[in-house]
Structure 1
């Protein structure tokens, strides 16, 4: 009867798993969708690993499964023997909360399967196979693993027992998270998984410490909780820096193998502590907590000097940091950004930059309300995100917070947004420019602070191509009409220059209606550079004027500059006058002998003959006429 009950439960579980898989869901965890299986991880541990997403916001997750009914590289008999390990890992991971332990999100356990969802991660074993991690990143990640081990050993009085590259998981930000909770056991736990199932963990025999090889897994009860984990850390360090273990470790014999005592690629500062971790005598073996303390020592440790460790620590406390601390971090990030651009220093790892540095900086920038040095962060954020982010990520992580910042009333923030607009304007969407940037940006034209008004005027050419016709031909021209009479001569000058640059974006009717009066006003400005700007603006927009406007409005308006008291203005005026006269000649050259011209001469000649016979004779001889 029990057999039939178990069989029925297994069949139902398999059917449920198949149904959820067909629907794209994680069995027993309906809030998450199941994606592709990470086939590269198959056979490296007892778990099958999947990519997944949270259904409500499509955020990525990782999914771990152990299902007796699923086909696997392990036989059905062996899988049933391993099932207690999967259950232990599920329960331990669900109960254990630590920032350096793989983050458990949700899960489900049945009679024949275990499924659980975690933060999105990739296997360290796969990263090392791809040679993706630098030594700097390895030392940074090692800090997280050692912190988690020391916590379990010292604070939890527990043995982890499963440290491998296959049990360490890497977050998108480059942090290493400890997993592999299959045999986590407290020393005083009589029925702990370590004592009964320690030998079932993959590679457990080849990774067994000397005392375990001699006396079995229960020998650990007489040792410090860190004895096995220190030895495994010894092997782990060798693997991540020097590659796979020697062949002597691949034999599960009772002989105690040893690693080469040469350093290889292990960082010099870690070499002697690494040797102490592998001491055959468990009583003399360096504890995981002692290894952590040595590495974090302010004067002699290897972690305080690691660039990623320093940045990570500074970023975690950035929101509450003092002004001096913030300034120091900003200076460091600027140096990294400029050094990477000049190939003088190594750039930050892309994952660390994208998921660790930028989110912290952007969060402080967005929610500090313009205080605490937030405006100083903007150029750093823009420089660091210049390369390495795809358009979608850049828009979500950088552009949207920047767009929202336009609504802040803080002048320092608004000034920073305007000064650095050239670094992100080309990636702004037209919809955001018209609906979310312009309504706040236009208030700068009337700001009481002159530098804000001037920066606002200078910013318009960068966003003009994305402004709609209503804003370009109405709202913008209305405020520029006010800035052209600003008390600051520089603002008046820049307004004139801006109008000349905007001419190609304006409608034809607007060009004739607005540009000539605006430039004519600049020609009579008391500021010499404004007058010069007016002349050059007319010359730059010459093609948009018709011949009647040139002869009747432009040339008369600019003639006053021919006698300007400033020689530079006079010289520019003569050049402009020569240009416009030649332009008029070119526009009227084809019209002098056209039908309309002949009609004008005939009408004028008839009137003259009626009043002046002599003039009529002259016209018959080819004199007079209408131009």
Structure 2
């Protein structure tokens, strides 16, 4: 659902969830809302907002019936809100934007090329950010007549369906991706189509490459080849890397992490690193990087996100057990007597 339509609410039970609510103004909006629920439910992709559950509720006001659609998703916040909160600047801002745009481009490519679907409303408002700072595409509840005119390509604006049918499946959403890029880099929502002519805030060559057909060879343009994107991509396909590649990567990671946006390191990279160590896909040098990242956390967060790695004293990898002992000065003070007895000494 389009988040701006009504409200967001986070409910904390066993894990946080996001409730989105849409109250219909007329049958057309209700149909659009139901279409959005259907798309979120059936279209599954890592870069598309994760749907958990939905329900409808009817209320009566005299002779009028009001239908409200409730959707439960993973916890997210609007992209614009998260950008303001992070306050990134310079190279770090550019790298984070490149990573996020890369994710949205992959989501749109999946819709257009694999599902043969058109989103038709790709813009700043249709992107949300998860707790791990991943960008997700949503807003599948828009019919063509509900999309604001500034986000419509000329063919769509003129209802030139003959041309649209002859066009490639990615044509309309390429326009939307361009609108998203313009809004993101200018820092302002698009109010009219003419504003797209002002490209002063957009790096010329890199984005021209990225706005063509949304397939892999275009998505990996020079703009998307930066330290942050390459680091996260390496971590996400760690199981496909050989031992030499892993060893080289993890030995460089402690110094590399200092150059990356701190919040992204702590909320995205650190959980990936901890998970890879737990499940055995990371090499022993990864411990050094994990503990360095952990030193940037508050004590409470360190206990939750880093300290559980002491269970690796039970690992069959001798190098990891030795690494834990060599670095015990960095986490030893946080160990309780119970943890020492049950997870450290019992494995010796």
Report the TM-score when normalising by structure 2.
Answer: 0.86
Please give the residue correspondences for 1:186-265 in structure 2 after superposition, counting only pairs within 5 Å. 197-201=143-147, 204-215=148-159, 220-244=164-188, 249=192, 257=194, 259-264=196-201
C-alpha RMSD over aligned residues: 2.7
Equivalent residue number for residue 206 of structure 2: 270
Equivalent residue number for residue 160 of structure 1: 119
1:323, distance to aligned residue in structure 2 (A): 1.0
* Cα distance in 2 for residues equivalent to 1:257 and 1:117: 37
| Structure (1/2) with the larger helix percentage | 1
| CA distance 1:245–1:420, change in 2 (3 Å) | closer
1:110, distance to aligned residue in structure 2 (A): 4.6
1:288, distance to aligned residue in structure 2 (A): 3.2
* Cα distance in 1 for residues equivalent to 2:85 and 2:282: 40
1:376, distance to aligned residue in structure 2 (A): 2.0
The reply to whether residue 392 of structure 1 matches residue 339 of structure 2 is no
Q: Contact 2:207–2:223 (CA<8 Å) still a contact in 1? A: no
SS at match of 2:223: coil
Equivalent residue number for residue 361 of structure 1: 273
* Cα distance in 1 for residues equivalent to 2:232 and 2:260: 15
SS at match of 1:374: coil
| CA distance 1:390–1:410, change in 2 (3 Å) | same
Report the TM-score when normalising by structure 1.
Answer: 0.49
SS at match of 1:162: coil
* Cα distance in 2 for residues equivalent to 1:373 and 1:228: 41
Q: Contact 1:136–1:306 (CA<8 Å) still a contact in 2? A: yes
Q: Contact 1:47–1:66 (CA<8 Å) still a contact in 2? A: yes
* Cα distance in 1 for residues equivalent to 2:98 and 2:84: 17
- Please identify the structure whose Cα radius of gyration is greater: 1
SS at match of 2:194: coil
| CA distance 1:308–1:47, change in 2 (3 Å) | farther
1:410, distance to aligned residue in structure 2 (A): 4.8
Equivalent residue number for residue 73 of structure 2: 118
Match of 1:97 among 27, 31, 44: 44
* Cα distance in 2 for residues equivalent to 1:149 and 1:395: 38
1:130, distance to aligned residue in structure 2 (A): 4.1
1:422, distance to aligned residue in structure 2 (A): 0.5
1:310, distance to aligned residue in structure 2 (A): 0.8
* Cα distance in 1 for residues equivalent to 2:266 and 2:318: 29
Q: Contact 2:9–2:20 (CA<8 Å) still a contact in 1? A: yes
Please give the residue correspondences for 1:440-459 in structure 2 after superposition, counting only pairs within 5 Å. 440=347, 443=348
Structure 1: give runs of 5+ residues left out of the alignment. Answer: 1-40, 69-77, 184-196, 250-255, 278-285, 341-345, 444-627
* Cα distance in 2 for residues equivalent to 1:367 and 1:331: 19
Give CA-to-partner distance per residue, 1:343-390, whole Å, 9 cap, x none.
xxx33341x32343222322232332xxx7633222221011110x33
* Cα distance in 1 for residues equivalent to 2:5 and 2:188: 20
* Cα distance in 2 for residues equivalent to 1:48 and 1:219: 37
The reply to whether residue 182 of structure 1 matches residue 141 of structure 2 is yes
* Cα distance in 2 for residues equivalent to 1:104 and 1:287: 27
* Cα distance in 1 for residues equivalent to 2:305 and 2:41: 30
| CA distance 1:293–1:260, change in 2 (3 Å) | same
Match of 1:374 among 277, 283, 286: 283
Give CA-to-partner distance per residue, 1:461-514, whole Å, 9 cap, x none.
xxxxxxxxxxxxxxxxxxxxxxxxxxxxxxxxxxxxxxxxxxxxxxxxxxxxxx
Equivalent residue number for residue 609 of structure 1: none
1:226, distance to aligned residue in structure 2 (A): 2.1
Please give the residue correspondences for 1:572-591 in structure 2 after superposition, counting only pairs within 5 Å. none
Segments of 4+ in structure 1 off by > 4 A?
216-219
Q: Contact 2:284–2:320 (CA<8 Å) still a contact in 1? A: yes
1:395, distance to aligned residue in structure 2 (A): 1.7
| Structure (1/2) with the larger strand percentage | 2
1:246, distance to aligned residue in structure 2 (A): 6.2
Equivalent residue number for residue 142 of structure 1: 101
SS at match of 1:66: strand
* Cα distance in 1 for residues equivalent to 2:104 and 2:127: 8
SS at match of 1:105: strand
* Cα distance in 1 for residues equivalent to 2:75 and 2:109: 24
Give CA-to-partner distance per residue, 1:74-101, whole Å, 9 cap, x none.
xxxx365422211110011000111111
Q: Contact 1:211–1:220 (CA<8 Å) still a contact in 2? A: yes
* Cα distance in 2 for residues equivalent to 1:245 and 1:66: 22
Match of 2:261 among 338, 348, 355: 348
Structure 2: give runs of 5+ residues left out of the alignment. Answer: 59-66
1:52, distance to aligned residue in structure 2 (A): 2.1
| CA distance 1:132–1:63, change in 2 (3 Å) | farther
The count of aligned residue pairs is 336
1:271, distance to aligned residue in structure 2 (A): 4.3
Give CA-to-partner distance per residue, 1:287-335, whole Å, 9 cap, x none.
333xx532315xxx322x2212211221122234211110121123122
* Cα distance in 2 for residues equivalent to 1:139 and 1:321: 24
| CA distance 1:119–1:159, change in 2 (3 Å) | same
Q: Contact 1:51–1:60 (CA<8 Å) still a contact in 2? A: yes
Equivalent residue number for residue 336 of structure 1: 256
Give CA-to-partner distance per residue, 1:83-122, whole Å, 9 cap, x none.
2211110011000111111111222235522222222211
Q: Contact 1:212–1:219 (CA<8 Å) still a contact in 2? A: no
Q: Contact 2:179–2:190 (CA<8 Å) still a contact in 1? A: no
